[in-house]
Structure 1
Amino acid sequence: MKEMSFFDHLEELRKRAIVIILAVIISSAVLFPFMPKMIEILRQALINVPLHTFSPMEALFVTFKASIYAGVVISSPIIIYELWAFVSPGLTEKERRMVIIALTPTLALFLAGASFAYFVILPVTLKFFFSFSYRISTPLFGLDQTLSFVFSMLFIFGVVFQFPLVIAVLTRLGVVDYSFLASKRKYAFVIVFVVAGIITPDPTVVSQTLVGVPLYVLFEVSIWVSRFIGKKK
């Protein structure tokens, strides 16, 4: 196989980037007419209070932005394929297998994290923010700010749930091991529940527990993963 020059790689990258951009644009355009209804469903599910716009173009801008986000999600198989087709020729057979093996848990963990944020974190936090604001003012939740907060939380928790996978890689590289992680259990427990208390600032321990327990389970899963990989090394 002829080795590609630097400019050949740039040309291939350009072509694949065009395919990705077109896929996102087409998906976003198809989804755009459905976005107002989807935003309304999201509003009712998470907060069920009126959302306000503060400029003439805000509703259109938010609908467009939501369409782009949804377009990226719908186009993700094409995006993953194009990125893989560009990167894989430069990898060894072992590296290819490792990436393929890691891809499924990466997507599954991201989906689990986003679902956790949607079904647990967001209802609790949005309810608290609204009730707290109502004590001292008449709250007006902006459409753009609220949806940006929702999308940010979905993304952040999708990334946070990659922790077991990160630990797996670090264990494989010899940076951490099972004994190190196991010795930090009590610190992890305290940190997790402090973070849970910050995320859910309402006075009920129930909300803190709903958030803290799954996050601590995530740490325990990471310990198990580290132990399993350590035995295979």
Structure 2
Amino acid sequence: MSSSNDNKPDELAGTEAPFVSHLVELRDRLIRAVIAVGVVFGALCVWPGPAGLYDLLAAPMVAHLPADTKLIATNVISPILVPLKITLMAAFMVALPVVLYQLWAFVAPGLYSHEKKLVLPLVVSSTILFIAGVAFCYFLVIPGMSKFIQAFAPTTITAAPDIEQYFGFVLTLFLVFGIAFEVPIAVVVLARMGIVTLEQLRAWRGYFIVASFIVAAVVTPPDVISQLALAIPMCILYEIGIIAAGLLIKHTKAPDAETDAKPSA
């Protein structure tokens, strides 16, 4: 006997649009995202300026260099190009909420109401977690790593890193820690899609801890501070992801799933 949900109209019925319309909307969304990044980039070029942003990014390393030592530029255009790259990176991070909103607005019409309840919190939380990972790396990891390196450097060596290499190194660390802080999002998505269960996630806790330390040893510099600073938060965030997955699965069930879960009269 068919349930009453078989006669219920589809929530997305009649919302289909031609493929060309999707391409036009995608183009408009991308243009708005680029404009947002461009506006923030222009504002940051005025204040604090590319030079000011570079000094801010270099501060954790410069603070632990020998006295009167500065970073060097081995390329002719590096003193101009590197600060502009840093300004563009900062502009993208500041405009990230607008970029993610454009992404959300593009996919939202094709989602059911119970799916929207899941996607919007994930978009917001993933943005916060990525920025938290970058901030954690900037305020804790880079200063600790710089102090560790200088403590073991021979006295006959004058540490003066190249600004392009430093920028590439810091950008890599930012991406690594930003992505690593997305562990709860990955756990929630996998559990919500039914790929894994909460029981399996709890059973795999030990394997994830080992994998976290292996990943930290591979993607971070060969110092204990940065490796522990990546592995330990990943383990903690894994536990947070399991708790969040249980809460979201409970509150974002599809209406038909909730009806089927109730015993029939």
- Out of 21, 24, 36, the residue aligned to residue 11 of structure 1 is 24
Displacement after TM superposition at 1:228 (Å): 4.5
Greater shift after overlay, 14-23 or 208-217? 208-217
| 8 Å CA contact retained: 1:51, 1:143 | yes
Higher alpha-carbon Rg: 2
| 8 Å CA contact retained: 1:62, 1:144 | yes
Displacement after TM superposition at 1:106 (Å): 1.4
1:43 aligns with 2:62: no
Displacement after TM superposition at 1:65 (Å): 0.9
- Out of 79, 84, 90, the residue aligned to residue 104 of structure 2 is 84
1:30 aligns with 2:50: no
Change in 2 beyond 3 A, CA 1:173/1:56: same
Alignment correspondent of 1:59: 79
State how many pairs are aligned: 231
Displacement after TM superposition at 1:31 (Å): 1.0
Alignment correspondent of 1:220: 239
| 8 Å CA contact retained: 1:20, 1:82 | yes
What is the TM-score of this pair, normalised by structure 1? 0.82
Structure 2 unaligned regions, length at least 5? 1-13, 254-265
What is the TM-score of this pair, normalised by structure 2? 0.73
Amino acid at match of 1:61: L
1:196-217 CA-partner distances (Å, limit 9, x unpaired): 56646446xx776555433321
Alignment correspondent of 2:126: 106
Name whichever structure is richer in helix by fraction. 1
Change in 2 beyond 3 A, CA 1:172/1:119: same
- Out of 176, 181, 191, the residue aligned to residue 156 of structure 1 is 176
Q: Distance in 1 between matches of 2:121 and 2:237?
A: 20
Structure 1 unaligned regions, length at least 5? none
Query: Percent identity between the aligned chains?
Result: 30
Q: SS of the counterpart of 1:141?
A: coil
Change in 2 beyond 3 A, CA 1:130/1:147: farther
Q: Distance in 1 between matches of 2:196 and 2:107?
A: 28
Q: Distance in 2 between matches of 1:230 and 1:99?
A: 12
CA-atom RMSD in angstroms: 3.0
| 8 Å CA contact retained: 2:97, 2:127 | no
Alignment correspondent of 2:5: none
Amino acid at match of 2:51: P
1:173 aligns with 2:188: no
Q: Distance in 1 between matches of 2:207 and 2:28?
A: 49
Q: SS of the counterpart of 1:220?
A: helix
| 8 Å CA contact retained: 1:29, 1:67 | no
Amino acid at match of 1:37: G
Q: Distance in 2 between matches of 1:53 and 1:166?
A: 39
1:127 aligns with 2:144: no
